[in-house]
């Protein structure tokens, strides 16, 4: 099925909804999907080309509905590069959102912070990224593959996110997200390198999706929920269990911030 057929399937499933905003929910952040009003959920299994194995900590469904007065298409569940070594894991879902008429993609993730004063539970607005892995546009055989990544994280949307943070009283730092392939966590030496090259947080997702989204002409906004300090910063080993429990704890605040962003976007 091509993406136009997929978009038609989604439209038939949720008639009357014409979402302009897509959202990707990261590990443990699935609670946001519960805030979607008039929700119509389509299992990824019913959408050929959408990931349906290896989706961790997620429902694995596309949820259409309304939040804060805005119509949204929520990808509740992502697949990661580390599943199969394919940076195009999320290519079909993102292209489908674009074909559906989405103009903006809001991405969320769980991340390790490189700043001791931005600890677990903190929210970071992504200002820019460092791709430390293969590009998802490799093999796309047209000139459109030469996508500019200047202001990839849309400055006007970032302004709006800061406004939403202020309005809700939620602390929001801003920084550079660096993508590591995973699935093992980084070494302490890699964390020191990441800091040296200008990263503020590290994680295993989002970056290929941002490149795919820019290629599809979508505006991008990204948030990291800090679940831990980077490897070697505390003397304790990192664990996926900690990532999931901290993401669940902070997820509510990120959901509130997202709802405020959507409200501003709907105005
Ligand atoms: N490293 C990579 N990915 C992550 C981390 C981390 O420290 N925390 C949550 N996701």
3-state secondary structure of 21: strand
First-to-final CA distance of the chain = 36
The answer to whether residues 42 and 10 touch, using CB atoms and an 8 Å cutoff, is yes
Beta-ladder partners of 104 = 21, 219
Residue minimizing CA distance to atom 6 of ligand 1? 112
Q: What are 83's two structure tokens?
A: 């599943």
The arithmetic mean of pLDDT across residues 19-25, rounded, is 97
Phi-psi region of 31 (alpha: psi -120 to 50; beta: other; left: phi over 0): alpha
Whole-number Å distance, alpha carbon 109 to ligand 1 midpoint, is 9
Q: Residue 101: what pLDDT?
A: 97
The answer to whether residues 2 and 95 touch, using CB atoms and an 8 Å cutoff, is no
The arithmetic mean of pLDDT across residues 215-219, rounded, is 97
The answer to whether residues 124 and 174 touch, using CB atoms and an 8 Å cutoff, is yes
Task: Give backbone dihedrals phi and psi of 253, rounded to 5 degrees, phi first.
Answer: -70, -40
Whole-number Å distance, alpha carbon 12 to ligand 1 midpoint, is 38
Q: Residue 54: what pLDDT?
A: 63
User: pLDDT of 34-86, one tens digit each?
Assistant: 999 999 999 999 999 999 766 655 679 999 999 999 999 999 989 999 999 99
User: pLDDT of 127-173, one tens digit each?
Assistant: 999 999 999 999 998 888 999 999 999 999 999 999 999 999 999 99
The length of the chain is 267
Q: What are 90's two structure tokens?
A: 């999320």
* Average pLDDT of the chain, as a whole number: 93
CA distance 63 to 37: 10
Q: Residue 239: what pLDDT?
A: 84
Residue 49 belongs to what domain range?
Answer: 3-266
Q: Which atom of ligand 1 has the smallest separation from the CA of 247?
A: 9
As a whole-number percent, the residues of the chain with pLDDT over 90 amount to: 82
Ligand 1: lining residues by beta carbon, under 6 Å = 110-112, 180, 185-186, 202-204, 227-228, 230, 238, 243
Q: Residue 53: what pLDDT?
A: 65
Q: Residue 141: what pLDDT?
A: 82
Q: Residue 57: what pLDDT?
A: 55
CATH number of the domain to which 249 belongs:
3.40.50.1580
Whole-number Å distance, alpha carbon 7 to ligand 1 midpoint, is 33
CA distance 105 to 215: 12
Give the dihedral sign, CA 92/95/101/104: positive
Domain count, the chain: 1
The answer to whether residues 87 and 208 touch, using CB atoms and an 8 Å cutoff, is yes
The answer to whether residues 261 and 174 touch, using CB atoms and an 8 Å cutoff, is no
Cα 229 to Cα 7, 168, 202, 243: the distances in Å are 39, 25, 9, 10
Give the dihedral sign, CA 4/153/187/193: positive
Q: Which atom of ligand 1 has the smallest separation from the CA of 230?
A: 7
Provide the pLDDT confidence category of residue 258 given band limits of 50, 70 and 90. Answer: very high
Residue minimizing CA distance to atom 3 of ligand 1? 203
The arithmetic mean of pLDDT across residues 116-135, rounded, is 96
Query: Cis before residue 142, ω within 30 degrees of 0?
Result: no
Residue minimizing CA distance to atom 10 of ligand 1? 111
3-state secondary structure of 80: coil
Q: What is the pTM of this model?
A: 0.96
């Amino acid at each position: 099925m091509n993406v136009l057929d997929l978009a038609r399937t989604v439209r038939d499933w949720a008639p009357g909804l014409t979402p302009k905003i897509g959202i990707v929910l990261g590990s443990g952040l699935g609670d946001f999907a519960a805030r979607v009003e008039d929700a119509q959920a389509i299992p990824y299994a019913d959408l050929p080309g959408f990931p349906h194995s290896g989706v961790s900590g997620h429902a694995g469904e596309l949820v259409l509905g309304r939040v804060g007065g805005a119509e949204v298409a929520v990808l509740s569940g992502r697949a990661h590069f580390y599943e199969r070594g394919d940076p195009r894991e999320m290519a079909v879902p993102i292209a489908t959102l674009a074909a559906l008429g989405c103009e903006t993609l809001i991405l969320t993730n769980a991340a390790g912070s490189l700043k001791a004063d931005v600890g677990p539970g903190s929210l970071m607005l992504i200002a820019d990224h460092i791709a430390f892995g293969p590009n998802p546009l490799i093999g796309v055989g047209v000139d459109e593959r030469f996508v500019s990544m200047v202001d990839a994280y849309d400055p006007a949307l970032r302004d709006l996110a800061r406004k939403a943070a202020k309005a809700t009283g939620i602390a929001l730092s801003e920084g550079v997200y660096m993508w590591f392939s995973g699935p093992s966590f980084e070494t302490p030496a890699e964390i020191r390198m990441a800091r040296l090259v200008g990263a503020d947080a590290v994680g295993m997702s989002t970056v290929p999706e941002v490149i795919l989204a820019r290629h599809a002409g979508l505006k991008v906004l990204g948030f990291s929920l800090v679940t831990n300090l980077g490897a070697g910063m505390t003397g304790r080993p990192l664990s996926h269990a900690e990532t999931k429990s901290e993401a669940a704890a902070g997820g509510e605040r990120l959901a509130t911030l997202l709802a405020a962003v959507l409200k501003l976007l709907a105005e």
